[in-house]
Structure 1
Amino acid sequence: MSKELFTRLKTALKARGLTYADIAERLDVSEITIKRLFAEQDCKLSRLNAICRAAGLQLHELVEATGQNPAPPNRLSGEQSRALSANRSLLSVFLLLLNRYEPTRIQAIYQLTDQTLYQYLRSLEQLQLIQLTDNRDLKLLIEPPVDFLADKNLDQEIRKINADFLNWVFNHRHRTGYQFESVTRHMSRASAEEIHRDISELNDKIKHLARRDHLLMPEMELTGYKLSCAFGLTPFDQLFSVRAQDVPELVPSVQHP
């Protein structure tokens, strides 16, 4: 096992407030055993995976944080996406849960009764998206990131969410933490392809930094950010409207003596 992998794991434990003793207790082994594993920085993959699970981590998250190839995003089943596309409120509850909103917070924001909240959560559980526990807690059965863009059933909903987000950022563009840019230029195909590559690299960088922060930073220090970006050939005649009935009346020219 690489030294960097154990360094990342140690940092992740610290960010979660976990000690070697906590991990040892959860794995039913001695604290000395755990200390020795970290000191030697070498163990079987199964043992490392068990330590990650005890810390509430996924091994692939740890590997991704070291800069190696990330795991692909999760996908919804056809039944799940059809059910969510048919009910915007149910989709919203699921998206809020994915973005770490507690059910009680959702209830307070949208002024839901206990019964209404339970019905939303129970519907998500029946779709096998979450699992409700006896102590009124829940577990996500599909962890983020989720590839919503690849789901044809959700096309209209995802388009609406991104349009609403762009409108929100536009209205808040003068506030700290928001940035809205719009530029139209004529350029060569080669230059456009370079911009496409830059956007892809920015997208990958956001994903990498988010994985790293999720693994290494305390949960309370993480805040949700979103990038909605569009770049391509500009269909000017589809963006602008020119109607014959809107032609302005000509003002008679003033003749000077």
Structure 2
Amino acid sequence: MTQITQLISTLKQRLKAAGMTYRDVAQALDLSEPSVKRLLASGRLTLERLAQLCELLGLTMAELLQEAERSTPRLQTLTREQEAQLVSNEKLLLVAVCALNHWSLEDIVSAYCVSKAECIKNLLVLERMASGGSESGESHQVAGNAGFRLAAGRPYPRVLPATGFAGFHGQPIRRPR
């Protein structure tokens, strides 16, 4: 689900929760009911129109965006294939660990020997992995409060040596200042 689709979905959910129909929205915004339906179906809202809808719901745009973000489905458990893919590529694993710890693209590129293009490529791979579903069953969480888990009972390869990722950086992983 794209960010815009998620935002529109959240907007529709809030309208429904408020008991508002398309007709109510149309009257409040001085539009026809078909125009409101078209706006929400197409996802082509101007910022001004989005602000009007938020005001109608008693929300700020920031609150709506935060709610949409919270409702976005997240990958919880890696499948065996995803796990194998992740641990078989040191750069992918490095980018995953950094991304899960909220590093910016610039932080990763400046701290490790990874180009911006390589970093973006690996972030796209992770994005595809995240949309690939999850595996049920008991699991172990990776890296504290990370966004995914490795399934229980699987051997964990020693991919994080005490000195960090060999060849990328000579010191343990830590966020740049």
TM-score above 0.5, yes or no: no
Pick the TM interval, shorter chain. Answer: 0.3 to 0.5
TM-score, normalized by length of structure 1?
0.30
TM-score, normalized by length of structure 2?
0.41
